[in-house]
Amino acid sequence: MAQPPAPASSDDLVAARLFRLSLGVFFIGGFVASSISLLVPRMRLTLGLDYLMATSIQLASFSSYLLFAVPVAAIVAVTGYMRAHAIGLSLMAAGCVALVAGLMREGYPLILLALLAVSTGATFLQIASNTAATIVGDPARAAVRLNLLQGFNSIGTVIGPALGATTILSARAASDPTGSILPFALAALVLTALAFAFFRRRDLLSGLPAGAPHIARATWVATLGDTRLLAGAAAIFCYVGAEVAIGALLTDFLMSRHALGWPAESAARLVALYWGGAMVGRFAGAAILRVVPPAPVLALAALLATLLVGGAVLASGAVAAALLLLVGVVNSIMYPTIYVLALPDRPERAAPGAMVLCIAVVGGAVVPMLTGALADRIGLVPALLLPALCYLPILAFARRFREPRTAG
């Protein structure tokens, strides 16, 4: 007689509940990030900014990862992951409200301050969400779990440009700023609801090693000396920098004569394909990573990304546009896979390790600004070779650290 399936353990039920809550966090994070990327071409069109000044929006969006990652990691260690989620979501909601005010007034300094608030909240989520999703649940399925969550992040990044093309970059929005506030007003409502949900379940992880990690000074020192972690941080710096630079300048690339020469609103609609490719790739990647080790998949993705961006620079017309849009597909599995390969597997080292990886996200500020400065000097198309080169350190990381972490 067949035996009934064993009941799920309480730890498994907690992990499943956390995963369901995290779906909303990753979705709205992608929606907000991709909507912000459309502010780069909007600022160029409405305020007449050059590429360097316009890409400073990404500096405001990502600088908090460098400025606040250390104190945020310390706060996470004290409050635990669930309360840290609530804090981060609340800060992002407040930042979106301030962004609405800045767009209504077309006040560039207020917009930058609002973006800093949004990114400070996102810093909490980078440390709390990615780390909790990695260490709460079956360690063998961490890469699959994080890729699935990143897939929902990508759904948000597809919906963001699709909505933003008709609001942030529409012809009407150039003269009437009220339409451009819709994505951020909606995001503020969703973020507030999620913050409330996490606060209500603030004790969900109580009793688990991941619930509220207490980190000794020696643990911080040992973690910061982890060669694999530091190499992973360098890979994340390059990956986020390349992805954000391409995403921020993609609309301008598609508008250029080198590619399609389309108007801003039409070009912005195509940007959804870039993020849509990431969505498809992440769900497909979650399936592939069930049977293929993560490092070889990461190495292949980094190699293909280098070739695709280089091909977009060398080709022209629809071929160049298609090649750059396809980068979204191969980008898709990079962040969660690097994160899982680099993060220390011991719970007491997870928070400081996540802090290091979170600081590395500042690449999303540095690489776009360097690419923008190059674009002002040598042109947008050849400047894209800088993000292409960023994929080579990722390839090196994947080849150097082929085996997953082992406990100890």
- pLDDT at residue 311, rounded to an integer: 96
Pair of tokens at residue 161: 């440009």
**What distance in Å separates the CA atoms of residue 335 and residue 360, rounded to the nearest whole number?**
11
Highest mean pLDDT among 203-217, 277-291, 350-364, 382-396: 382-396
Which residue is listed with tokens 């990304």? 305
Nearest to 178 by CA among 76, 106, 264: 106
102-118: burial string, b at 16+ Cβ within 10 Å, e else? bbeeeebebbbbbbbbb
**What distance in Å separates the CA atoms of residue 166 and residue 268, rounded to the nearest whole number?**
9
DSSP 291: T
Mean pLDDT along residues 289-316: 93
**What distance in Å separates the CA atoms of residue 139 and residue 408, rounded to the nearest whole number?**
14
- pLDDT at residue 109, rounded to an integer: 81
Helix axes 108-135, 347-360, angle to 10 degrees: 150
- pLDDT of 147-205, one tens digit each? 788 888 888 887 887 777 676 666 565 556 666 788 899 999 999 999 999 999 888 88
Cβ contact 171:243 at 8 Å: no
HSE-CB at 166 with a 13 A cutoff on CA atoms is 5
Identify residue 188 by its one-letter amino acid code. A
More confident of the two residues 90 and 275: 90
**What distance in Å separates the CA atoms of residue 208 and residue 73, rounded to the nearest whole number?**
18
* DSSP structure string for 217-240: HHHHHHHHT-HHHHHHHHHHHHHH
Cβ contact 58:40 at 8 Å: yes
* Domains of the chain, earliest start first: 10-202 (1.20.1250.20), 213-401 (1.20.1250.20)
- pLDDT of 48-87, one tens digit each? 667 777 667 767 777 777 788 888 888 887 888 899 999 9
Q: Which of 96-100, 123-127, 302-306, 386-390 has the lowest mean pLDDT?
A: 123-127
**What distance in Å separates the CA atoms of residue 51 and residue 374, rounded to the nearest whole number?**
9
CA-based torsion, 77, 82, 87, 91: positive or negative: positive
Pair of tokens at residue 181: 């506030």
Return the CA Rg of the chain. Answer: 20
Count of C-beta atoms within a 10 Å radius of residue 141: 14
- pLDDT of 14-59, one tens digit each? 888 888 999 999 999 989 988 887 776 766 666 666 777 766 776 7
**What distance in Å separates the CA atoms of residue 383 and residue 397, rounded to the nearest whole number?**
24
